[in-house]
Amino acid sequence: MMGRAVVYDLGRARDVKAIAVADFDRDRAREVARAFGHGKTRAHFADVRDTQHLAKLAHGYDVLLNCTQYNWNLEVMRAALAAGINYMDLGGLYHMTRKQFALDKDFRRIGRIAIPGMGGAPGITNVMARALADPLERVHAIRVYNAGADEQHYDSPIAYTFSIATILDELTMPPIAFERGRYVEKPMLSDPEAGKFRAPIGSITLRHSIHSELGTLAESFRHKGVKEVFFKINYDPRLVNLVRDLDQAGFTSREPVAVNGTRVAPRAVLLSLMQQRAPKKTARDVEALRVVVSGRSKNRRVASAMEMWADYSTRPPLSAVARDTGFPAAIAAAMLVRGEIRGTGVQAPENVVPPQPFFTELKKRGFTFRCWKLDPKQI
């Protein structure tokens, strides 16, 4: 889903000369290259478990942009290291993001940069946090909200707009928050908070969920004294209830169980069934990413918010979530090649992506932004 958006946007960029699309399913890679690659794209077979083969394939390119399931991030990073090129991905749900920083010295050694979490949330959210925090002498809190709505009518009883494997993890892994200057584990979908967005999202309830922003924002703004960072999202209550029931019944377990003389992980069966029944229609969705930052400026308490809004498209057929995840990654990759993003080692988006040029590119693609002041006493 997200890889299509990346290929489409890179294919349209005048300064991008060649794109390689690699997938374990080569026919799928060919389909994406043909439909979205603007004649610049070649399809290849790749197995991310084979580091040397992937490195050989990536050699000679400027950036390895990883759109695979996040649990493969370290393998793909090692392939980028072996190929001697830059690296980006779309996120790692906190725990993987933290592990990726262990390769910082390796990327510095070869003079290349790796930017984990360069999609929408994480990615756009991180850079918005930077834009709001930069004018402040002190930062007290960074609050990240992810809201969406989908008006498509699906034939499938289970509808989702990004990786169902990631969704299962977000709904079954304990969230991480940064409170009073310490990382804490929160109960699943805890601390409900009312949120108001423009139609068709409207009035919703957002709750804690595990996410990559927690892997970097607290460390990036520790020097400004940040004490609180969290991420909250609104999931469809029907999906939440379904996953909760499946989890309680053991269907999300990774531990193999005996079935007719063989051993099978329930989660693997569940994912296979859900992927087979994935909705065929393109989502008619919208997504809003909102970041609220509070702190001190000129010895006064201040607070402000920034919000990005994304819509789906029909030409090409891409969901809002695919657009605001894939396009920022493609934009950042092109900025890196042009020398607008600099640095070496493993770097968080908020520390290397210049906010205004990045936002300008997003606006060219139809994303809208708004900013407003808040009463610090009410947040």
Query: What residues does each domain of the chain span?
Result: 124-312+366-378
Listed range (13-17, 78-82, 107-111, 218-222) with the worst mean pLDDT: 13-17
Q: State the average pLDDT over residues 103-130.
A: 98
Q: State the average pLDDT over residues 160-165.
A: 78
Banded model confidence at residue 362, pLDDT cuts 50, 70, 90: very high
* pLDDT beyond 70 at 157: no
* pLDDT beyond 90 at 66: yes
* pLDDT beyond 70 at 323: yes
Banded model confidence at residue 89, pLDDT cuts 50, 70, 90: very high
Q: Give this prediction's pTM.
A: 0.95
Contact in structure between 145 and 306 (CB atoms under 8 Å): no
- The amino acid sitting at 143 is R
* pLDDT beyond 90 at 155: no
**In this prediction, what percent of the chain has a pLDDT beyond 70?**
99
Going by C-alpha positions, the residue among 2, 90, 31, 16 that lies closest to residue 320 is 2
Q: Which residue has the higher pLDDT, 45 or 275?
A: 45
Each residue's pLDDT tens digit, 124-146: 999 999 999 999 999 999 999 99
Q: State the average pLDDT over residues 2-17.
A: 95
CA gap 312, 150 in Å, rounded = 9
Q: Give the DSSP letter string of 21-74.
A: EEESSHHHHHHHHHHHSTT-EEEEE--TT-HHHHHHHHTT-SEEEE-S-GGGHH
For 267-306, b/e burial (b = at least 16 CB within 10 A) is beebbeebeeeebeebbbbbbbbbbbbbbbeeeeebbbbb
Residue 307: per-residue pLDDT: 98
Q: State the average pLDDT over residues 262-282.
A: 87
Asked if CATH classification 3.30.360.10 holds for the domain at 124-312+366-378, the reply, yes or no, is: yes
Q: Chain-wide mean pLDDT for the chain?
A: 95
**In this prediction, what percent of the chain has a pLDDT beyond 90?**
87
